[in-house]
Amino acid sequence: MLLISQVGLAQGRVVTELAENWKFQKGKNDQAHQVNFNDKSWEKVTVPHDWAIYGPFDKEIDKQVVAIDQNNEKVATEKTGRTGALPYIGEAWYRNEFTLPHYKKGQKVLIVFEGAMSEPKVFVNGQKVGEWAYGYSYFYFDITDQVQEGKKNTLAVHLSNQGQSSRWYPGAGLYRKVQVIVKNQESIDQWGTFVTTPFISKDLAKVNIKTKASGNNVRLFTQIKDAQGNIVASDSSGQAFGKEFEQNIAVANPQLWSPEKPYLYTAVTRLYVGKTLKDEVTTRFGIREISYKPNVGFSLNGKVRKFKGVCLHHDLGPLGAAVNKAALRRQLRILKDMGCDAIRSSHNMPSIEQLELADEMGFMFLAESFDEWAKPKVKNGYNRFFEEYAEKDIINLVHATRNHPSIVMWSSGNEVPDQWGAEGVKRAKRLQDIFHREDPTRPVTVGMDQVKATMASGFGAIMDIPGLNYRTHLYEEAFATFPQGFILGSETASTVSSRGIYKFPVEKGIEKQYPDLQSSSYDLEYCSWSNLPEDDFVLQDDKPWVIGEFVWTGFDYLGEPTPYDDKWPSRSSYFGINDLAGLPKDRFYLYRSRWNTKEETLHILPHWNWEGREGQTTPVFVYTNYDSAELFINGKSQGIQKKHNATPQTRYRLMWLDVKYEPGTVKVVAFGKDGKPVAEREVKTAGKPYKLVLEADRKEISADGKDLSYVTVSVVDKEGNLCPTATNQLTFSVKGKGAYRAASNGDPTSLEQFHLPTMKLFSGKLVVLMQSTDQAGAMELTVKGKGLQPGQVTIQSRK
């Protein structure tokens, strides 16, 4: 059990994270909530926990015979990997015992869940204290009447996941944090602080803090600290209006929050009765100004900019849905290197950890709520709960996350079937009004795919921000029709590819399928409802009223394996700019060449191991931020290519379409604006696999039992060239103060279980996750493969 004291014993607030000592069992049991229930045979787990990620993969799990409206399908077909083919369906119980040594009769006790998949029912000491419906929602219950002073308390949580309840892998279990909060009766309400910055100038910022608190004759004192912990402003208030205090505090010479400089302040709010401190809450926030104006677009801190964003599902590949801050941080590092500055949490509420990292690392956030409203997409989706829960879920989303400066807009829905007709317009307006009531400072969008319908009905006209999912051919008409004066690409591209896999002939293709169930990494294949990346680039660059885009998706995710969702064993997506292991696909460098304006990009594709293709046409593409380059095959020039506007592709890619394959060396030399060579890259034909090379993203991690080091394993020939077609079976072993956690090779058709210490290479690479224990020291990973020199790497974990 991890204890985190926010205030200390004298003041009364103690926050305890229930992470250890959980017992878990899948299955139905009517007695499992009872105090004296025998759970000794149950599995011991830590929370966050996803029971389904351990597999095995199974074609029969959640097999659906459906026509997916969002994919323009008219005929129902068998879908076998739509929700990842992992065993998330069913009922399960979690049990834990906790003591509250600081609790005294007369205090309040809350239990807070940041996500429980799904339909949780919560029991304390045998009594039901509450239930919720939505698996992505934050919620809490007051358990003051159920807890016992000075004794062990038994917590039991029942979860139930139905089939056909999701369009992707939802995960299963207590996959986000669980906390118990003990505080005084005179205290600040849960999520009761709201910090905004309504006035900002170079010399002064007005920080408005609204605080809801309980208790009579209470007084509030707030200090604002800068990033170094220095007190820069303070204010005291003894006057509450109802239960709410309002403070306006001046901060001199404010440092503004932005993706380029994510500066954070902290507000420390203390509640007193007389001179006695009763409660204290710390709130991190940023000083920043957002605006959305007709024909101007989006501005941050007075500067117009466009969102360079990606959509992210909530799973973390081989870790499943279980939240892990190190895994999230790695994702954001990769995206930052690409030049990405914005994230859309699609299509659900983000984790608190993800928002904390977005604040720290500098990402603007589109926080989404629902994938369904009243009309269903899947039989057992959120439509079942919409009328009863939608308002409560939005309130909790806003209250729990509104102080994160990274959030710059809300989304009330994604591609909801309610886009058609008058009822849908009313629902859109009602939900938007709830967001406005709870947070007047941020606008609201919906990801709209039925653009013609929303133009006809008025649905799109009432939204603060009209978000178009794809439909690039309708942007002009939508801009002319909608009154807002701008359009957001709320979901773009849906280009599909498999890392390191290339198909011939090289040509554009809609939902192309191949016998190996892979998609070509020439980045010319896309879905029937979507387009190639450059179609969006043109709109972003040429239309000032297009305010940015969120690409589908930043990383591959479990489930939804379009264009192979009717082909087994495909069980994860092909949409990612990075694969399921977090390894970049070629498309990463296409976006990087445009988005990362500070660093050089010069990337060659495909690989150059094509035995049997000698003399055949094998096009070479180069993704670069330079405008021109010369290509050489074994020293022979293939000519100079320059970016030009003949097609969207030639505007953003350099392409040599007539290259004939011969083994050897591919070299590209890029030219600067003055026509002189400025950079070069090479790709060589590799020989036979010879040895394994290991590269850790972090050589030092925290000895907290949660931290991770991601080790990329590559196979190379005797000269050190990557063997790009290698598929060797590898095994992993760990000794020392650490443990093997999981592996992933990014192959969307692989049925190997992530947690087992063996896996095949895919396109010459895979990634191994090393996890710390709670003991400091060294851990050593050894990777072996038949006929290969083994590889080793040592990671240090420190307290």
Q: What is the pLDDT of residues 724-742, one digit of tens each?
A: 999 999 999 999 999 999 9
Q: Are 664 and 673 in contact (CB under 8 A)?
A: no
Give the domain 2-52+88-183 fold.
Jelly Rolls (2.60.120)
Indicate the range of 17-26, 65-74, 192-201, 422-431 predicted with least confidence.
65-74
Alpha helices in 276-348 (DSSP H): 325-338
Is residue 536 scored above 90 in pLDDT? yes
pLDDT band at 394 (very low <50, low <70, confident <90, very high): very high
Structure token pair of residue 72? 């323009």
Q: 235 with 222: CB under 8 angstroms?
A: yes
CA gap 338, 308 in Å, rounded: 10
Q: Which of 272, 330, 202 is nearest to 7 (CA)?
A: 272
The structure tokens listed for 447 are: 């990801």
Closest CA to 689 of 719, 711, 714, 715: 715
pLDDT at 670: 98
Q: What whole-number distance in Å separates Cα of residue 716 and Cα of residue 692?
A: 6
Comparing C-alpha atoms, which of 684, 583, 688, 670 is closest to residue 628? 670
CA dihedral angle for residue 535, residue 552, residue 399, residue 22, rounded to 10 degrees: -170
**Domain 327-494+529-564: CATH class, spelled out:** alpha beta
Q: CA-to-CA distance for 448 and 411, rounded, in angstroms?
A: 11
- Report whether 44 contacts 146 (CB < 8 A): no
Query: CB–CB of 362/340 below 8 Å?
Result: no
Tell me, yes or no, if 491 is annotated catalytic.
yes
What percent of the chain stands above pLDDT 70?
99
Could you tell me what percent of the chain has a pLDDT over 90? 95
pLDDT at 76: 87
pLDDT at 661 over 70: yes
Task: Please give the pLDDT value at position 11.
Answer: 55
CATH of domain 187-285: 2.60.40.10
State the average pLDDT for the chain: 96
Contact 512, 520 (CB under 8 A): yes
Residue 526 token pair: 């896309």
Q: What is the pLDDT of residue 3?
A: 38
List all residues 6 or more positions away from 589 whose beta carbon is below 8 Å from its beta carbon: 601, 603, 623
Contact 519, 498 (CB under 8 A): yes
Per residue in 293-317, is it b (16+ CB within 10 Å) or e — as a string? eeeebbebeeeebbbbbbbbbbbbb
Residue 106 CA to residue 103 CA, distance in Å, equals: 9
Residues 6+ apart with CB under 8 A from 35: 125, 126, 154
Question: Could you tell me the sign of the dihedral formed by the alpha carbons of 471, 475, 480, 484, in that order?
Answer: positive
Catalytic residue among 491, 525, 549, 560: 491
Q: Which of 62-71, 395-404, 555-564 has the lowest mean pLDDT?
A: 62-71
Q: In Å, how far from its chain's centre is CA 63?
A: 26
Does the pLDDT at position 4 exceed 70? no
Structure tokens at 585: 């696909």
The string of DSSP letters for 95-145 reads EEEE--TT--TT-EEEEEES--BS--EEEETTEEEEE---TT--EEEE-TT
Confidence at residue 588, expressed as pLDDT on a 0 to 100 scale: 98
* pLDDT one-digit tens code per residue, 489-526: 999 999 999 999 999 999 999 999 999 999 999 999 99
Residues forming beta bridges with residue 370, ordered by sequence position: none
Q: pLDDT tens digits for 97-113?
A: 999 999 999 999 999 99
**Count of positions (residues) in the chain:** 799
Q: Which of 368, 415, 525, 534 is catalytic?
A: 415
Same fold yes or no, 187-285 and 327-494+529-564: no
Could you read off the pLDDT of 149-175 as tens digits, one per residue? Answer: 999 999 999 999 999 999 999 999 999
Q: What is the CA radius of gyration of the chain?
A: 27
| pLDDT at residue 1, rounded to an integer | 34
CATH number 3.90.550.10 given to 691-798: no
pLDDT at 697 over 50: yes
**Nearest-10 crossing angle of helices 325-338, 586-595:** 60
What band does 8 get if pLDDT is binned at 50, 70 and 90?
very low
Q: Report pTM.
A: 0.97
Task: Indicate whether 796 pLDDT > 70.
Answer: yes
Q: What pLDDT score was predicted for residue 9?
A: 41
What would the two tokens of residue 132 be? 């919720």
Q: Are the C-beta atoms of residues 495 and 575 closer than 8 Å to each other?
A: yes
The residue assigned the tokens 């509250």 is: 100
Average pLDDT over residues 613-642: 98
Q: What is the pLDDT of residue 67?
A: 83
Averaged pLDDT, 406-413: 98
pLDDT at 472: 97
Instruction: Encode 174-185: b = buried (16+ Cβ within 10 Å), e = exposed.
Output: bbbbbbbbbbbe
**What phi and psi values does residue 678 have, to the nearest 5 degrees?**
-125, -20
Asked whether residue 242 carries a pLDDT value surpassing 60, the answer given is: yes
Instruction: Return the bridge partners of 468, or none.
Output: 448
Helices (H), 339-419: 352-361, 386-401
The domains of the chain are located at: 2-52+88-183, 187-285, 327-494+529-564, 691-798
